[in-house]
A and B are shown apart, each in its own frame.
Chain A
Amino acid sequence: MKKTYKIEVDCANCANEMEEAAKKTEGVKSASVNFMTLKMKVEFEDGADEKEVMARVLKNCKKVEDDCEIFFD
């Protein structure tokens, strides 16, 4: 399953770090952050619960860049 989320982040390097953090999150198969369009594309592992995984992704991203936001419902 692949999904795209809107994100908010100020610097390009932080976006790269968010991408790294998201990739290392459990339940995420691959992730890509596009700083220019402010979007995060996440491919989930089979059977992963989207909301749970995204909550973890946000937590990990906050660790590398406190001033970031990922919009998922």
Chain B
Amino acid sequence: MNKKQKNNLIRIIISALCLTVIAISSVEGVLRAALYLVPYFIVGYDILLKAVKGIKNRRPMDENFLMATATLGAFALAIWEEAEGGRGDFLEAVAVMLFYQIGEWFQSYAVGKSRKNISELMDIRPDYANIEVNGETQKVDPDDVEIGSTIVVLPGEKIPIDGVIVRGNSTLNTAALTGESLPQDVSAGGEVLSGAINLTSPIYVQTTKEFDESTASKILDIVENASSAKSRSENFIARFARVYTPVVVFSAVALFLLPPLFSMGVLNAPPEWSVWLYRALTFLVISCPCALVISIPLSFFAGLGGASKAGILIKGSNYLETLSNVKTVVMDKTGTLTKGAFDVDAVHPNKLLCEFLHKAGGKHIHEDNDALEHMKRDLLHLAAHVEKFSSHPIANSLREAYPDISDGCEVENIEEITGKGISAVVNGKKIYVGNEKLMADIGAKWQYCEREGAVIHIAVDNEYAGHIIIADVIKPTSKEAIAELSSIGINAVMLTGDMEKVAKKVAAELNIKEYKSELLPADKVSALEKILLKYKEEKYLNIENLIDRVKGRKSDAIHKVAFVGDGINDAPVLARADVGVAMGAMGSDAAIEAADVVLMDDNPLKIPLAINIAKKCMKIVKQNIYFAIGIKFLCLTLGAIGLANMWLAIFADVGVMIIAILNAMRALYAPRMA
């Protein structure tokens, strides 16, 4: 609570107490009216002052002026009633001002609170960096740290600048960056990104970027500028607010003048000025659009905050809106649905030989799964050892698949056979690892394999031992992600530069019905354009489109197309799509620049999650719009026919605002996925 809020709260409380005392006391007459003015001025003096300023600035539609008019009018009515010999209702005038201020106070408090909560959520800004000077660590401004300096990050501290670990092992919490709560182990030589929190032990990091160029700064930049790009809903509400107040004020004037004149002139009945004045004043109480205006940006802000908590950076509320209307997701294959790196996909040992090898080694092998696993392991073991010192990408994947490479086995006489493979002596046996040509050369009877990918054959002492398939593997969550998308009615399309048979296999495995293969980067843009064209005419009637139509503007297609890529080579496609999503973008500047939505890690499940967050947020926005406008119009109608008094009007106004704000805060929490 800031000072202003505290002061206002005290004013509200004092005024409320005064009001209660006066209401239950038995003071009568002029003194009663005068006493009521005390709590009125305590709680409303600033509104009255602002109202005067509003008139000075020639702004009659100023909400303060309207509220002042409504309450002073109610006061005047009460005095007039007293003069007529009745009993005027002063309490109402003061209460309306009091509740109006309570509403304003709550709004200011809730917005301040949520502003703080959400910024804290996204607070990955490191305040300082530790530099070691003459053996002592000093805290310095991260802005002053030059590239190549070594900084110390102690346990519990945020890594301030991107870099490479030169000394120390630790575990990092990257939740603020990726939304992934699983801690990540790092050691010397490993790359670390700013914004991650060091958990266990000190690490020494050599910086590779300046502070401004580091991941944390980039992310903050996106997040802080996010809600400046406004959505159609926000613009709609701003336009609505601009016409709403004048319309209500003119209706109030009409309500005050027309019915009495009508009854006097036409019906020859008494004009009942005071009744119609009261109804007109009730209108003024409902004329402020603030409840409506506040809840919409708040919903978007919460939605953007909730998304970034889940590791999804959305660059503006307009993209959040577009994302909620996505009906087709076009995805790149390599790096998005597949890992984009070659991995051992399958190991097919030549069973008989393996058995023979094992028996020779004195082990007894049964015909069960364990045994097969054992053989696979043996085959990988041989291949990895032969490739122990090779730098070929395939060798890397083989070694990765068999991590216990330093098990003391002897590897000698390594010989590269260009274009064919490699041979070596492992534990006294001559092993060949290579393609079909190599197998043919040494007379080993190799087997054809139907699986897609690069086939690596292995022979032991000129006898065929089996083969290993190396392929770009599908990410473990890809299938689930596609299923999730189709469960929310979204059509997935895969684009790839890869061969038709590979594309077909991946598409079949992931249940993707539509795919295009063998595309050059430029072909991907035209493929996407074709898809965009196909859905361009699909329109849907909603308020925004209706306004567009009335104004003779072309309305937007409602079937939005998203493109998801890894940000490498596909910047033009990202830019061309209705909403471009870059994934696994941590550390890739180009992707962060080009995309509208940035997924911090490379988990495809984040795609449906992002869409679900957007849908939930837009649902809340719509609920708030319809609810707030609906209640306002209901109150106006009831007020016009005399069924609603000022009490109801002010309660409805404040109540709607509180409910709308609380509803908006729901957008902060990511929806649960089925």
Query: Contact residues of A with B, CB < 8 Å?
Result: 4, 10-13, 16, 19, 32, 34-39, 41, 63-64, 66-67
CA distance A11 to B228 in the complex (A): 17
Chain B 226-244, CB-CB to A under 8 Å as 1, else 0, gives 0110100000001001000
Q: Does B301 contact A (CB under 8 A)?
A: yes
**Cβ contacts under 8 Å, A32 to chain B:** 228, 230
Q: Contacting chain A: which of B291-299, B584-592, B620-628?
A: B291-299
Known: A36-B115, A66-B53. A16 touches B228 (CB 8 A): no
**Cβ contacts under 8 Å, B290 to chain A:** 11-13
Given known contacts A32-B228, A35-B111, what 19 new A-B pairs fall within 8 Å (CB)? A11-B107, A11-B290, A11-B293, A12-B296, A12-B297, A13-B241, A13-B289, A13-B294, A16-B238, A16-B241, A16-B293, A32-B230, A35-B297, A36-B298, A37-B224, A37-B301, A39-B228, A41-B228, A67-B50
A-B contact pairs, 29 of them (CB 8 A): A10-B104, A11-B290, A11-B293, A12-B111, A12-B290, A12-B293, A12-B294, A12-B297, A13-B63, A13-B288, A13-B290, A13-B293, A16-B241, A16-B293, A32-B228, A35-B297, A36-B115, A36-B118, A36-B227, A37-B224, A37-B301, A39-B224, A39-B228, A41-B225, A41-B228, A63-B59, A64-B57, A64-B59, A66-B53
**Cβ of B294 and Cβ of A34 under 8 Å apart?**
no
Q: Does B108 contact A (CB under 8 A)?
A: yes
Known: A16-B238, A41-B228, A63-B57. A36 touches B297 (CB 8 A): yes
Q: Min CB distance, B664 to chain A, in Å?
A: 10
CA distance A35 to B297 in the complex (A): 7
Q: Min CB distance, B320 to chain A, in Å?
A: 13
**Cβ of A11 and Cβ of B104 under 8 Å apart?**
yes
Q: Min CB distance, B83 to chain A, in Å?
A: 35
**Cβ contacts under 8 Å, B298 to chain A:** 12, 36
**Cβ contacts under 8 Å, A66 to chain B:** 50, 53
Q: Min CB distance, B668 to chain A, in Å?
A: 12
**Cβ contacts under 8 Å, B289 to chain A:** 13
CA distance A66 to B63 in the complex (A): 12
**Cβ contacts under 8 Å, B300 to chain A:** 36
CA distance A26 to B224 in the complex (A): 27
**Cβ contacts under 8 Å, A11 to chain B:** 104, 107-108, 290, 293-294
CA distance A34 to B231 in the complex (A): 12
**Cβ contacts under 8 Å, A63 to chain B:** 57, 59
Closest to B119 in A: A37
Which residues of B86-113 are within 8 A (CB) of A? 104, 107-108, 111
Q: Which of A10, A12, A63, A64 has the most CB of B within 10 A?
A: A12
**Cβ contacts under 8 Å, B118 to chain A:** 36
Closest to B63 in A: A13
Closest to B224 in A: A37
Give the 9 A-B CB pairs with smallest separation, nearest first: A36-B301, A12-B294, A12-B293, A13-B293, A16-B238, A63-B57, A32-B228, A66-B53, A34-B227
**Cβ contacts under 8 Å, A41 to chain B:** 225, 228
Q: Min CB distance, B469 to chain A, in Å?
A: 52
Q: Min CB distance, A24 to chain B, in Å?
A: 13
**Cβ contacts under 8 Å, B108 to chain A:** 10-11
Q: Which of A19, A35, A63 has the most CB of B within 10 A?
A: A35
Q: Min CB distance, A21 to chain B, in Å?
A: 11
**Cβ contacts under 8 Å, A16 to chain B:** 238, 241, 293
Q: Min CB distance, A36 to chain B, in Å?
A: 4
**Cβ contacts under 8 Å, A10 to chain B:** 104, 108
Closest to B239 in A: A16
Q: Min CB distance, B139 to chain A, in Å?
A: 26
CA distance A64 to B53 in the complex (A): 10
**Cβ contacts under 8 Å, A12 to chain B:** 111, 290, 293-294, 296-298
CA distance A10 to B293 in the complex (A): 12
**Cβ contacts under 8 Å, A64 to chain B:** 57, 59
Closest to A11 in B: B290
**Cβ contacts under 8 Å, A37 to chain B:** 115, 224, 227, 301
Q: Which of A32, A34, A64, A67 has the most CB of B within 10 A?
A: A34
CA distance A4 to B298 in the complex (A): 20
**Cβ contacts under 8 Å, B104 to chain A:** 10-11
CA distance A67 to B46 in the complex (A): 10
**Cβ contacts under 8 Å, A34 to chain B:** 227-228, 297
Which residues of B278-308 are within 8 A (CB) of A? 288-290, 293-294, 296-298, 300-301
**Cβ contacts under 8 Å, A39 to chain B:** 224, 228
Q: Min CB distance, A29 to chain B, in Å?
A: 15
**Cβ contacts under 8 Å, A36 to chain B:** 111, 115, 118, 227, 297-298, 300-301
CA distance A63 to B62 in the complex (A): 11
Which residues of B242-284 are within 8 A (CB) of A? none
CA distance A38 to B294 in the complex (A): 13
CA distance A22 to B57 in the complex (A): 16
Chain B 333-366, CB-CB to A under 8 Å as 1, else 0, gives 0000000000000000000000000000000000
CA distance A11 to B4 in the complex (A): 14
Q: Min CB distance, A42 to chain B, in Å?
A: 11
CA distance A36 to B316 in the complex (A): 13
**Cβ contacts under 8 Å, A13 to chain B:** 63, 241, 288-290, 293-294
Closest to B296 in A: A12
Closest to A10 in B: B108
CA distance A67 to B296 in the complex (A): 22
CA distance A35 to B107 in the complex (A): 13
Q: Min CB distance, A63 to chain B, in Å?
A: 5
**Cβ contacts under 8 Å, A19 to chain B:** 238
Q: Min CB distance, B459 to chain A, in Å?
A: 66
CA distance A63 to B115 in the complex (A): 26
Q: Min CB distance, B628 to chain A, in Å?
A: 12
CA distance A16 to B293 in the complex (A): 9
**Cβ contacts under 8 Å, B224 to chain A:** 37, 39
CA distance A16 to B237 in the complex (A): 10
**Cβ contacts under 8 Å, B111 to chain A:** 12, 35-36
**Cβ contacts under 8 Å, A4 to chain B:** 225
CA distance A12 to B112 in the complex (A): 12
Q: Which of A4, A16, A64 has the most CB of B within 10 A?
A: A16
CA distance A32 to B225 in the complex (A): 11
**Cβ contacts under 8 Å, A35 to chain B:** 111, 294, 297
Closest to A63 in B: B57
Chain B 488-511, CB-CB to A under 8 Å as 1, else 0, gives 000000000000000000000000
Q: Min CB distance, A15 to chain B, in Å?
A: 8
CA distance A64 to B61 in the complex (A): 10
Closest to B289 in A: A13
Chain B 405-436, CB-CB to A under 8 Å as 1, else 0, gives 00000000000000000000000000000000
